[in-house]
Amino acid sequence: MITGKNYIGNRLSGNGTKTYRTFNPLLNMENENEFVEASTEEINEAVFLASDAYIAYNQKSGKEKAAFLNTIADEILATGDALIQMYCSESGLPEGRAKGERGRTVGQLRAFAALVEEGSWVEATIDTAIPDRAPIPKPDMRKMMVPLGPVVVFGASNFPLAFSTAGGDTAAALAAGCPVIVKSHPMHAGTGEMVASAIIKAAEKTGMPNGVFSNLNSSGIEVGVQLVEHPQVKAVGFTGSIKGGRALFDLAARRDEPIPVFAEMGSINPVVMLPEALKNRSGELAKTYAGSITLAAGQFCTNPGLLLGIEGQGLTNFIKALSEEIVKIEPSCMLHPNIIGAYEKNKQTAIDQSGLVVAADYGTEVAVNYARQAVVTVEGSTFLENTRLHQEVFGPFSMVVKCKDAAELQQIISNLEGQLTGTIISDNDEISAYPMVIAALQNRVGRIIFNGVPTGVEVCPSMQHGGPYPASTDSRFTAVGTQSIKRWVRPFSYQSWPDDLLPNELKNSNPLGILRSVNNEQTKAAI
């Protein structure tokens, strides 16, 4: 049951005057439900409630927060097929993807629940007093992570579940102890409302303070701007375009009190194909990469948009094979007419600038809103000169760069902007001959992959999803995996604080039994 309203804390509210509908790209028509954009008053109320809830939510134990997160997961699953249908109608993505993404979303929530229930994530660090130290006594010092305050999360167009309303940013922020205000993505406002409703139910069931979560509808940039500029908002999470992420970063940096913006933005995910590998298995690589390039209509931030090889028969064979493989793959529906519009425009620009088109279009007529995948090639020297060719073409597109030698390959990598991932395709230990190419690639990316594809982001503690700008606005953090909780916390020290007033994490008796660093030793023991 979709109301089209905002959740201002636990209360549904639709006082605004601006309305909009979502779009079904498969049917090429608007969906039925009408959504009311949040008004300035509603925005302010949501932030006020969040700021108020922050103190109370901060007092909740890890166990209580875990119950909240697990109940959100339960409530999302309880929405059943209705959510899956809504997801598909608002994204054009297939049911299998919807279910997979729901599974990932629920998995993320439960992973964060487990993290905060166990409790060691706060990095409790204790240095006990040395009262007789000369020349001055050493005080008792204890430190742990504490939440930053209300966090604004922007829903992502390409992950209506896993990086939107109850996605990775929200799960991490709630786990950290930060109330969350979601700026719902206009393309999937219905999915957003259903998930928001699940979160609110969970908050009420588990006794969380009103305001710990709000969901605000918006069709343009105004709601987001007001949220990021609000003095009581303390951090921002965003997944989307470089233009959008940078605009939010700039807004946040210009505030009287600048706040951190963690934006995960564009990436062309360079893939270096070394000569032996190309010689030995150009056909197999072409098949694998045709699949990776077109996965989910190329709408992944880890899509391999740049394939780098050194000129030779291997590369020629690979380009030929890729041009054959890419057209064998069924075209698929993109998320929204705006997205396919941008894709066609950016693809054409890249084709115009790169000159030679290898496989510009899927040959036959395709349905409306379905993407025509494309691969282009360009000389290394042209790519080096024309930085417009370095820009992401969001969709099922990739560019093969023909480098004249290893030196040019290294130079091209060194001149790339920051990337989420870099991949090396190598046979028979040929990689050992390219240490400077590897070093250059490592310097430009957040994750490096050996003989694989960049698509597929494992959710685990050792995943780094984020890289040098503009892959993300702060490469010191990850957007995926439980370590992403660190974006929303800060260290806090207690000096000579009475034991009974310390949080449980830092008490002498270690009542939570967490792993702590005590006088430089990792231990679960009491003091």
Residues that are catalytic:
264, 301
- Spatial strand order in the sheet of 151-154: 11-13, 6-8, 213-216, 180-183, 151-154, 235-239, 261-264
| Site string (276-295) toward a second copy, x via CB under 8 A | --------------------
Q: Within a 13 Å sphere around the CA of 363, how many CA atoms are in the beta-carbon half? A: 7
Q: Which region among 305-313, 319-327, 370-378, 468-476 touches a second copy (by CB under 8 A)?
A: 468-476
Kindly tell me which of 201 and 234 has the beta carbon lying closer to a second copy.
234
User: What is the pairing mode between strands 270-273 and 261-264?
Assistant: unpaired
Among 433, 458, 513, 526, binds a second copy (CB under 8 A): 458
Could you say which residues in the range 78-117 bind a second copy, by CB under 8 A?
none
Q: Tell me the two tokens of residue 256.
A: 């009287």
* CA distances from residue 333 to 95, 188, 361 in whole angstroms, order as listed: 13, 15, 15
Could you say which residues in the range 131-160 bind a second copy, by CB under 8 A?
136, 138-139, 141-143, 146, 148-149
* Binding status of residue 449 toward a second copy by CB under 8 A: yes
As measured in angstroms, the least distance from the Cβ of 363 to a second copy is 30
At residue 387's C-alpha, the angle toward residues 385 and 389, to 5°, is 105
At residue 209's C-alpha, the angle toward residues 478 and 148, to 5°, is 35
* Binding status of residue 448 toward a second copy by CB under 8 A: yes
Question: Which parts of 79-167 fold into alpha helices (H)?
Answer: 80-91, 95-118
d(CA 515, CA 283): 50
Kindly tell me which of 14 and 304 has the beta carbon lying closer to a second copy.
304
Among 27, 29, 253, 526, binds a second copy (CB under 8 A): 253
d(CA 140, CA 507): 12
* Binding status of residue 492 toward a second copy by CB under 8 A: yes
d(CA 443, CA 181): 35
Contact 209, 234 (CB under 8 A): no
Kindly tell me which of 366 and 448 has the beta carbon lying closer to a second copy.
448
Neighbours of 142 (CB within 10 A): 25
As measured in angstroms, the least distance from the Cβ of 347 to a second copy is 25
Size of the site for a second copy (CB under 8 A): 74
* Binding status of residue 404 toward a second copy by CB under 8 A: no
Contact 236, 248 (CB under 8 A): yes
Could you say which residues in the range 505-524 bind a second copy, by CB under 8 A?
515, 517, 520, 522
As measured in angstroms, the least distance from the Cβ of 515 to a second copy is 7
Among 116, 162, 389, 463, binds a second copy (CB under 8 A): 463
Q: Tell me the two tokens of residue 110.
A: 């439960």
* Binding status of residue 442 toward a second copy by CB under 8 A: yes
Report the candidate in 339, 344, 271 with the shortest Cα–Cα distance to residue 306. 271
Kindly tell me which of 456 and 511 has the beta carbon lying closer to a second copy.
456
Could you say which residues in the range 50-79 bind a second copy, by CB under 8 A?
54-55, 58
As measured in angstroms, the least distance from the Cβ of 517 to a second copy is 6
Q: Which region among 26-34, 207-215, 246-254, 341-349 touches a second copy (by CB under 8 A)?
A: 246-254
Report the candidate in 190, 209, 170, 250 with the shortest Cα–Cα distance to residue 48. 209
Among 7, 20, 238, 249, binds a second copy (CB under 8 A): 249
Q: Which region among 26-34, 81-89, 403-411, 470-478 touches a second copy (by CB under 8 A)?
A: 470-478
Partners of residue 306 on adjacent β-strands? 270, 399
* Binding status of residue 312 toward a second copy by CB under 8 A: no
Among 311, 361, 430, 474, binds a second copy (CB under 8 A): 474
As measured in angstroms, the least distance from the Cβ of 525 to a second copy is 14
* Binding status of residue 499 toward a second copy by CB under 8 A: no
The torsion region of residue 181 among left (phi > 0), alpha (psi -120 to 50) and beta comes to beta
Q: Which region among 190-198, 218-226, 369-377, 446-454 touches a second copy (by CB under 8 A)?
A: 446-454
* Binding status of residue 489 toward a second copy by CB under 8 A: yes
User: Coil, helix or strand for 216?
Assistant: strand
* Binding status of residue 257 toward a second copy by CB under 8 A: yes
